[in-house]
Amino acid sequence: MSPPAQHDPEALLARWRQDCTATDEGDDPLTADKHSAVTAPFGQTWPGRGPALPQVSHADEIAGQYARAFLAQKPRARLGLVAASRGADALATVGWMGPLNYNNDTATFAAVVRDWEDRFGVRVVGVGFSTLHLSVAAPPTRIEEALAVAAEHFAFCPDNIWQSSHPDLASYAKELIDLNCWEF
């Protein structure tokens, strides 16, 4: 595992986005249209990271509220303590293998979560075999912000769109407005 601080979150998201929307020469022409429809309004172009939103001083309080709600839904969940300087780094420290089908270096995902800690007041609240649960102290409040965040989520975890009831980023983005938890 590499150190999370070694990775540029913007470059990672751009590369992952490109990987998720790329079509090969032999692909069915409808595949490119399908990718563009799902990722509208951006299509195959990486729009860049969304803007940092105004931080709130109570990110840890929001995380505590979400953790209590999470435990109420999943009473068999277990507490884990990890020696890490920040919650995102715990993903790499424990060698979380959730995104193994995309990349086997968890530190790359931890680097993006670190960036979200800084920009949105995100805190790691729960980690499962292939799931990640984050509290969000400064979620997007407007559709323009939410679309940018949805583009990041698609690059980070395309399954949030591909394996959900959301037909596209715009539909997914609407649910992100004022949402204090992100689940992957």
At 105, the amino acid letter reads D
Per-residue model confidence (pLDDT) at position 29: 57
Which pLDDT score is estimated for 170?
A: 93
Domain borders along the chain are: 4-183
Tell me what pLDDT residue 167 has. 85
pLDDT at 98: 81
Residue numbers of the chain with a pLDDT score lower than 50: none
Q: CA–CA separation, 139 vs 108, rounded Å?
A: 22
pLDDT at position 107 is 93
Give the mean pLDDT of the chain: 88
- Pick from 34, 12, 38, 73: nearest CA to 164: 38
CB-neighbour burial class of residue 63 (10 A; exposed 0-12, middle 13-18, buried 19+): buried
What is the rounded CA–CA span in Å between residue 153 and residue 181? 13
Look at residue 169 and give its three-state secondary structure. Answer: helix
pLDDT of residue 166: 85
pLDDT at 131 (0 to 100): 92
CA–CA separation, 62 vs 181, rounded Å?
9
Tokens read off for 88: 């995102």
DSSP letter (8 states) at residue 4: G
